[in-house]
Copies of this chain bind each other. A is one copy, B any other.
Amino acid sequence: MKIAVLPGDGIGPEIMAEARKVLAALDLPGVILWEGDVGGIGYRRHGQPLPPETLEMARAADAVLFGAVGDPACDGLERHLRPEQAILGLRTALGLFANLRPATMFPGLEDLSGLRPEIAREIDLLIVRELNGDVYFGEKAIRTLDDGRRQGFDFMSYAEDEVRRIAHVGFRAAQGRKGRLCSVDKANVLETSQLWRDVVIEVSAEYPDVELTHMYVDNAAMQLVRNPGQFDTVVTGNLFGDILSDQASMCVGSIGLLASASLGESQTEFGTKGLYEPIHGSAPDIAGTGKANPMAMILSAAMMLRHSFGREADATRIETAVAQALADGVKGADLGGGAGTVEIGDEVLARL
C-alpha cells in the first residue's frame, strides 16, 4: 500500500499531520508513505508547482493523499507556475476523471448551514463531477485580434467517450444509493451540453434500475437552495461540478468536514487508484495558527482506505470516530467551537 502524501500549502501540512496520526494508529499492513512537495511550496523548492519528482511519486503510488494548494505569494506568477496547476496537473496526468463529492448533513450541525435546518437536514447527495475535460483543459489563451483588441478565450468540449465513462460512474454510484441520477447541463445553450445529454441518455439504457432526470445548471443552483433533499446522485461536467459542489458543501454548512475522491480507470492490486483531498482550500489566513480543522483531511484518508485499498472496515472506523467526536462536542473554529488542529486529531484518535 504505497501512499503519496502531498501536504501542499497553508494549513495543508498541519491537517495532514493529523491524518497521518490516524492512519498510523490503524496499524495497516505494509503501508509505505512517501512525502512530496506540491503547490506554492513545490514552486519555491523546485521551481514548479508540480515538480517531476512529485509527479513520479504520485504515478508510482497506489493512492495520493492531497492536502491543499494555494499561496497568495504566487498570485502574480504566470498561470503554469501557480499552485492550482499542481492539482489540475495531477488530475490529468493520473487520468483521474471522476470526482466524487458527497455532501451529507452531520447530525447536530444543522445550525451551521446557511439553509433552514429543516431543509438542510434533508441533504444527502453525491456529486459526481467530471474532472479531465470541459473548458478546463481545452486550448486557451489571451491573444490579440486582427483589429488590435485583446481577447481571452477557452475552448469548451466533451467527446462522447469522455461523457460515457463519467456517466457510467454516475449510474453506478446511483445504484449504490437511492437509484436516482440527475444529470446537470446547459443544453438549451451549449452544444457540449447537448452531446452530454444525448450520451447520458444512451448510457441510461444499460441502467434500467436508475431513474434519470436532467436539469439545467441555473435551475440546479436554485434547487440546491430551495429543496436540496430532492437530489440523490448528481452527475455533471467539470465547470458546473466545481460550482455546484462548492455550493452544496456550504448548504451542509461544514466545508471543514467534506472530503472528496478523484478516481480514474487505473486499478492497483487493492482497488482503484485515486487522489483524496478535503474540499476546502489552503486557508492561508489561518495557516500556522493551529486552528485548522483536520476532519475533512482525516475523512479523505478514510475515503482512500475505502476506494483505493478496499478497507471498508477501517474507513468506517475513522468515519465513526469523527462522527463520535463531533457528537461529543469536539468542534473546530469553523464549526463555532474552540478545538485546535492537534486536539481534534487526538480526540478522533481516542475514539478509533
Residue numbers of A with Cβ under 8 A of B are 79, 82, 84, 88, 113-117, 119, 135-136, 138, 140-142, 145, 149-161, 186, 188-196, 217-219, 221-228, 239-240, 242-247, 249-251, 255
Pick the contact of A157 from B152, B195, B243, B249 — CB < 8 Å? B152
Minimum Cβ distance to chain B for residue A173 (Å): 21
| Contacts A84-B188, A222-B247 known; 17 new A-B pairs at CB < 8 A | A114-B119, A114-B228, A115-B116, A136-B189, A150-B160, A151-B158, A151-B159, A151-B195, A152-B196, A154-B156, A218-B243, A218-B246, A218-B247, A221-B247, A222-B249, A224-B247, A226-B250
Give the 7 A-B CB pairs with smallest separation, nearest first: A152-B195, A153-B157, A114-B225, A221-B247, A218-B246, A152-B192, A222-B250
Interface contact B225-A190, CB-CB below 8 Å: no
Q: Which of A159, A194, A196, A243 has the most CB of B within 10 A?
A: A243
Pick the contact of A153 from B156, B217, B243 — CB < 8 Å? B156
Chain copies in the assembled complex: 2
Pick the contact of A243 from B88, B221, B250 — CB < 8 Å? B221
Pick the contact of A227 from B88, B114, B135 — CB < 8 Å? B114
Chain B residue at smallest Cβ distance from A192: B152
- Residues of B with C-beta under 8 A to A151: 157-160, 195
Minimum Cβ distance to chain B for residue A20 (Å): 28
- Residues of B with C-beta under 8 A to A159: 145, 149-151
Interface contact B194-A79, CB-CB below 8 Å: yes
- Cα distance A156–B238 when bound, in Å? 15
Pick the contact of A115 from B114, B145, B155, B195 — CB < 8 Å? B114
**Interchain Cβ contacts under 8 Å between A and B, 9 examples:** A79-B191, A140-B191, A141-B191, A142-B195, A150-B160, A152-B157, A218-B243, A221-B246, A243-B243
Minimum Cβ distance to chain B for residue A190 (Å): 5
